[in-house]
Amino acid sequence: MDDYQTTIKSRVRLTGTGVHSGKPVAVTFVPSDVDTGIVFQFVDGPEPGREIRALVSEVGATDLSTLLGNPTGVHVSTVEHLMAALLGAGIDNLIIEMEGNEVPILDGSAAMFVEAIDQVGLEVQSAKRRFIRILKEIRIENGASWAEFRPYSGTRFEVGIDFESRAIGRQQFDIDLNGDSFRTEIAGSRTFGFLKDVERLWAGGYALGSSLENSVVIGYDNKVINMEGLRFSDEFVRHKTLDAIGDLALAGARFIGCFRSYRGGHRLNSVALRRLLSDPEAFEIVETTRQKHGRIAQISAVSGPVFAPWAI
């Protein structure tokens, strides 16, 4: 955990395709002031200049990705990989200029977002960084699926999945999250899907930009059909962990605690986060201070919101 807020040193732009729309889209990262948080700003479309804050209170849909805003009006979709990259890279304050209403899928992971951030570098700012520290267990269940937050001295994710497909099966991935572990263990894991679902998704207007260049695809024979194979033997659960990191980044600050889930997804992640933030006894906002040699000397509770009030 670092003590001070950060932004990027200069602008950087990425172009690509919207995985659901199939249309060309672009994002430009713009440095911003302390306590701005992460803000999506539209530079084209019906309402240029319109902003949507990257907060769970703005989540409008979680069907196949996480969407902020009004699904039938002004919105930005597929934000989870980008949000995970920003949290993993340690960025607190950023304006994201949107050309289109979908974040580009790029290679289906968070790696290219992290590379773009590394290209321009981080600017350490003058204001202290604030964290959400988990004080008690919060758990939700939906059939066989569940998610929970628990107190923990660091930031930890424990994610389990279970698919009938022999290509996936049951997988578990546990990690203490920091900048290095995110880059090496999570950022490169790609989104995935089943070939048998493609026609149904296309008919519904989804996955129009999906391809073997941005998705791991499992064929009718329950085998991965991508020529290069998997980047990790358990890439599927690592990507589910990446999604969870991105969805929980919509808290408005990183948290000190452990998030555990089994057979989860965007909706479960969002509901769990809302449940946590709706219980003032379940968390507190804290700042950290360090000794000269980098050890945490104190974690102090502070009053006030992180970047903006939550409307839960």
Residue 41 maps to a domain: yes
* Catalytic (active-site) positions: 266
pLDDT, residue 312, reads 37
Residue 269 maps to a domain: no
Q: Helix axis angle, 80-89 relative to 111-120, nearest 10°?
A: 40
Residue 281 maps to a domain: no
pLDDT, residue 296, reads 46
Residue 60 maps to a domain: yes
| Residue 248, number of CB atoms within 10 A of its CB | 27
pLDDT tens digits in sequence order for the chain, 312 residues long: 478 999 999 999 999 999 988 999 999 999 999 999 999 999 987 788 899 999 999 999 998 899 999 999 999 999 999 999 999 999 999 999 999 999 999 999 999 999 999 999 999 999 999 999 999 999 999 999 999 999 999 999 999 999 999 999 999 999 999 999 999 999 999 999 999 887 788 788 777 888 999 999 999 999 999 999 999 999 999 999 999 999 999 999 999 999 999 999 999 999 999 999 999 999 999 997 654 444 444 666 676 555 443 433
| Strand 94-99 versus strand 24-31 pairing type | antiparallel
Residue 189 maps to a domain: no
Query: Which residues are CB-contacts of 42 (< 8 A; sequence separation ≥ 6)?
Result: 48, 49, 50, 51, 74, 76, 97, 98, 101
Q: What is the pTM of this model?
A: 0.93
Asked whether 51 and 305 are in contact (CB, 8 A), the reply is: no
Q: Which residues are annotated as a binding site for Zn(2+)?
A: 81, 239, 243
Q: What is the DSSP letter of 277?
A: H
Q: Which residues are annotated as a binding site?
A: 81, 239, 243
| Residue 11, number of CB atoms within 10 A of its CB | 12
Structural domain tally of the chain? Answer: 1
d(CA 231, CA 14): 23
d(CA 17, CA 172): 31
Query: Which residues are CB-contacts of 203 (< 8 A; sequence separation ≥ 6)?
Result: none
Kindly report the CATH number assigned to the domain that includes residue 118. 3.30.230.20
Residue 181 maps to a domain: no
Residue 145 maps to a domain: no
pLDDT, residue 307, reads 47
| CA 111 to chain CA centroid, nearest Å | 12
Domain that holds residue 58: 4-127
pLDDT, residue 291, reads 47
Residue 231 maps to a domain: no
